[in-house]
Amino acid sequence: MEKEISSVEKVRFSDCDPIGHLNNVKYLEYMLNAREDHVESGYGFTYEGYTRQTGCTWITVQNEIAYLKEVRYNAKVQISSKTIELGDRLSKVEILMKSEDGNTIHSVLWLTVIYFNMKTRRSESQPEETKDLFLKFLVNLEEKDFQSRVSYFRKLNKSAAK
């Protein structure tokens, strides 16, 4: 079973700034759309279907993003996502945007989400069967904070450029 799910996307002209770099806001769109696709293909459900069935969903409460290397128009990028923390209410996902060959990290996003009941409009604990599903995909990172993770990727990019 693959714990980190990946897909490849082509960067579109309309998503770039006047000098041909992917717009910062569009990084988020590409990464969040990829995560939604990864949940469906890897975890076997859609957010919409899950919410309809349970009345609950995950709400983003924090984004941490670092732009490490520009992405240019027409480039193909590999976007991967994985669960890196799993709690009763809060969980964390890491989404990476890499070069198509995976050798360069363009951006890293840590997404903190809270499990949320749409009817009560309050956070609640995730059901055990949901937690058990996500536990199968949980990846333990050596770097425990965002800045350490960013530093790690900066070093990787430097060594890959040599």
- The single-letter DSSP state of residue 1 is -
What distance in Å separates the CA atoms of residue 77 and residue 119, rounded to the nearest whole number?
38
Domains of the chain: 5-161 (3.10.129.10)
Q: Is residue 161 predicted with pLDDT exceeding 90?
A: no
Torsion 9-12-15-19 (CA) sign: positive
Q: What is the pLDDT of residues 104-130, one digit of tens each?
A: 999 999 999 999 999 999 999 999 999
Cα 64 to Cα 95: distance, rounded to the nearest angstrom: 10
CA atoms within 13 A on the CB side of 85: 16
Q: Is the overall model pTM greater than 0.85, yes or no?
A: yes
Using CA atoms, how far residue 115 sits from 9, 83, 127, 131, in Å, is 29, 14, 10, 11
Tell me the two tokens of residue 46.
Answer: 């859609």
Specify the pLDDT at position 23: 96
**Number of Cα atoms under 13 Å in the Cβ half of residue 64:** 12
pLDDT digits (tens, 9 = 90+) for 41-94: 999 999 999 999 999 999 999 999 999 999 999 999 999 999 999 999 999 999
